[in-house]
Structure 1
Amino acid sequence: MAGPINHIVFDIGKVLIHYDPNLPYLRLIPDEDERRWFFANVCTHEWNLEQDRGRPWSEAEALLIEKFPEREEQIRAFRQYWPEMVPYAYDDSVRIMEGLIDEGRDVTMLTNFAADTFRHAREMYPFLNKPRGVTVSGEIELIKPDREIYEKHAEHFGLDPAATIFIDDSPANVEGARAAGWQAVHFTDADRLRQDLASFGIDT
C-alpha cells in the first residue's frame, strides 16, 4: 500500500489544455492524404519533439526547408500558427487542479514543451501560473520519459518521489515517472482522474 501523497504533479498538453497540430493544417493543407503525408514525412512528431528538447525553431525550420524547399511556407506555418493548435482548456481538469491548490496541496507541473511556446501558453491560459512551479523540457533540455527529468523536477521542487503522484496522458511518461520512484496515473478524462486521486486518498 502506497504511503500518503504530499505532492501532485500535472502534465499540461492533453491534460489541462487541448493540443492538436492538425488544426491549422486543415486549412493550410485541405487534402487529407497530403496532410497525412506532411505530418508523416515533414513536420513529424519526432521533429517537433526536438523543439521540446530545446532545439531552436530557426534551426528546426532550416533543417526541414533544406530537405523540402517547396514546403517552406507550410513548415514555417507550424510555429506561426501554433496558438491554433491549443484552442481550449479542459475545464474539468483545470477545476480539479485549482481545487487542489485552493486546499493548500502542493501542486507543480512537468511538461514536454518548447520554451517559447510555453511562454505563449501561459499568456493564453493564466491558470498555468497558479501551481507552485513548472519544469519545462525545452528550458532544461531534458524530456519525458527520460528518468533524469523526473529526478530534476523532484530535486528542484524538493519532492519526495514516493510521496509524489504524477498525472500524464502518455502511458510512456507515466511509466517513466514510476521508474523514477513516483506514483503515477494515466489521464483519460476528469472523472477517471477524480477516481484515481481518490484511490490515493485525495478528494477533489
Structure 2
Amino acid sequence: MTISAVVFDIGRVLIAWEPEQFYDREIGKDKRITLLESVPLHDANLEVDRGAPFKKTITDLAERHPEWAREIMMWHDHWIEMVTPDIPHSARLLRALRAKGIPVLALSNFGIETFEIAKVEYPVLTEFDQAFISGHLKCIKPDAEIYEILERETAVSPTELLFADDRPENIEAAAKRGWQTHLFTTPEGWAERLVQDGLLTKEEAA
C-alpha cells in the first residue's frame, strides 16, 4: 500500500516522557504515588496540551493544593528533566526518511510553551515538514478533530499516512480513519516497520 507521508508522535517516540521517574528521584516513589493520587497533575497537563498557559495552569493547581505546592511547581520548574533523554535511533529514522524525500509530520499532544522549550533542547523537533501540535490546535489525541486537521491541511489521503505512536488509543483512533499505523514500543521495531514497508533499507534504518 502506498505511503505518502510518515507521522511521528513525539513523547516516548522521539524523546522521553517520564514524569513519574522524575518524581521518584526527587521525592521517592511512595510520596510520588500519594502526590498523583491527591493532585490531578496529569489532568492539568492535558489542559496545557489543549492550549492552556503552562505556568498559570500549574501555579493555579499549586494554589488549590498548598500542601503539595512545592512538588506541584516542580512540574513547571523542572519540566525539561521529565523529557530526558532523547531517543537517537528514532531521530536517525526521521532524518533518513526526509533524506529520501518522504514527508515527515508530527502529531503530538504537547503544550505551546513546552514544545518551544523542547525544541531548544532537542533540535530534531524542528525538522518536521509540518508539525501538528495539540496546544496550537486546541484539541488532543485521540479526539477525531486533531486527525481531521492533519488530513485537511496536508491533503494526504488517510490510507497513505503511516503513523507511529506509543499509546494504543491514539493508534486505534487513526486506524478507524484508515491510517496505516504502528504501535511504537522500541525504535528498533519502528525501524523494522519502515523497512518492511519499503520506505528505508536496512542500512538506512540502522
Provide the TM-score with structure 1 as the length reference.
0.91
Indicate yes or no: 2:122 matched with 1:110. no
Instruction: Give the SS at the match of 1:5.
Output: coil
Counterpart-to-counterpart distance in 1, 2:119 and 2:92 = 17
Q: Which amino acid aligns with 2:58?
A: E
Indicate yes or no: 2:70 matched with 1:40. no
**Aligned counterpart, 1:73:** 70
Distance apart, 1:15 and its partner CA: 0.3
Counterpart-to-counterpart distance in 1, 2:83 and 2:58 = 20
8 A Cα contact 1:19 1:87, kept in partner: yes
Counterpart-to-counterpart distance in 2, 1:129 and 1:168 = 18
Indicate yes or no: 2:119 matched with 1:122. yes
Indicate yes or no: 2:136 matched with 1:148. no
Aligned length: 201
**Aligned counterpart, 2:178:** 181
Counterpart-to-counterpart distance in 2, 1:70 and 1:28 = 17
Distance apart, 1:164 and its partner CA: 0.6
**Aligned counterpart, 1:93:** 90
Counterpart-to-counterpart distance in 2, 1:193 and 1:138 = 26
8 A Cα contact 1:43 1:75, kept in partner: no
Q: Which amino acid aligns with 1:154?
A: E
**Deviations 1:116-151, CA, capped at 9 Å, x for gaps:** 000011111111111201011011111001111011
Indicate yes or no: 2:149 matched with 1:161. no
Q: Please tell me the root mean square deviation across aligned C-alpha atoms, in Å.
A: 1.6
Moved more, 64-73 or 152-161: 64-73
Going from structure 1 to structure 2, the CA distance change for 1:62 and 1:85 (only over 3 Å counts) comes to closer
Provide the TM-score with structure 2 as the length reference.
0.91
Instruction: Give the SS at the match of 1:159.
Output: coil
Distance apart, 1:191 and its partner CA: 1.7
Counterpart-to-counterpart distance in 1, 2:38 and 2:179 = 36
**Aligned counterpart, 1:199:** 196
Q: Which amino acid aligns with 1:69?
A: P
Indicate yes or no: 2:89 matched with 1:64. no
**Deviations 1:53-101, CA, capped at 9 Å, x for gaps:** 1122344235423431122222111111001111111111111111001
Unaligned runs of 5+ in 1: none
> 4+ runs of 1 displaced by more than 3 Å?
none
